[in-house]
Structure 1
């Protein structure tokens, strides 16, 4: 939780009383030199202040698989949390006649989607065979369930990790095992010839962000109206080239709300054979203006810094109360372990909620 000095106004209270800070005061030192190319006309909106300390939501909860959390997204209508993981070593799914290693699952792009309630309890799971790596997922509420948006049609890269060449939409079905060509799956190809396709949904504006790579080298993001995208018309509201500042630590996820794209990058802590930590955290959250491709703010995150292993994994927008959608949270996900000998992964979630 946040640490605030008793008897003094918190930084958040000061900002709210002052009406917020100027843009110049909140821009990180690398910001304005890291612009990508962009073409857009996205309406102005508030943004998350990335200097706002993070609150803890869940710390070290188990998911369906023992592997690392890859990404997550919220069903804010039904108050569900969906997470994506690669299928664990030794798991035998319905219709399979043998066990598969974790490496085989990663190469094939086999994912497990776990559904949890907002108390952190598992209330469902389904399996996706041949979909991808799960870097980002989207959730579209529908009645008391939801449609999921993921990558699909996985193809292995040079490291034998499968990544999606298309985008898929399907309704969550507890216990189901599906493939990209299953009848309940609708597939989309918004950018022909692209790879490493993933999506994230902005639940405030009902837009969908699409990250992809073209020519095997250039990373792009495009923003679409969700209904238009779903209908198969791929006319972006904005297209951004990934800023060069994101070529450092490992890319770990993204999301979008209003005028801003948010990204997460960083690596897990490392340890020597005695369990002593040998690396410091390098987790960064970055906000990027959809209209210009400019990095507005880039800040290191210390959320969950006491976790053992601590690998950043995913970003998503939570609306705690849909009757007040202007109150939002930017959630950061982390995977962790108990110790060097107890390596089953747990998931933790922290959030920022100061909009300026």
Structure 2
């Protein structure tokens, strides 16, 4: 029998750029959870449609809660306070993992969680930053404000997808790690998201203030956080918006709607985007989709409450045309 929490809960922040492999890493860490413990995960989706809860699933001893519709590290942190308080009260976990959006700055989150009223509730341990060394080869990533901010606050730099990296890519990210402001961070290369869960218990490094631009703090830079109640979204539903110089949009479809597996993938693979993530009901079963410019992950998954698809793109998208193409793949019975 799992006992209620009586002391501060060990808590980790797991950051990383879009498509770096955060969700895969968290899934593998959850698989290593001690059988007698209950863990909780707070996920911040940049868009308004939560996907990760459907991908990770929830069980008796794993609780997932999403904060969708923006970045919990910006402007008003109230949605994070509320979501975290609800998660702690409901789950009474022995560990909390927090996954911010891949376009966010985590420094503000760490500052919020270090405030006095959280210190008796949460025990902050190592912050992990997941980096795909292949993404790092893009000069735009190397100078991206969010990417640099995520790496600077990390205690451990987790270089993912080692199975497809070459020696030059490995050397480049290790050189990047050495050039970050002190104190030195631990580095580790992983394959298939497999990281020893003992890394979570590592202590935080002594903090060092790093000055960055004020751009990310502007309230107009991001959509409001937490304005979309995931329980209140009724399918079919669509939204799109522009934020942080990206196009963001998505759909929720009724679970009873089935889509042609191959035709749906033809539509999605024809797009040029930063990320496509979803859980869709096809005639071949439920499909978990995670596409980036460097990777395509397609896996069978458990039945979901509805089908969900979310797209983040640097290029303009004709949302009306794309919706028509998606609906054309629906199987009519």
Place the TM-score, normalised by the shorter chain, in its bin: under 0.3
TM-score (norm 2): 0.26
Query: Which of the pair is proportionally richer in strand?
Result: 1
Q: Which has the higher helix share?
A: 2
What's the TM-score, normalizing by structure 1? 0.24
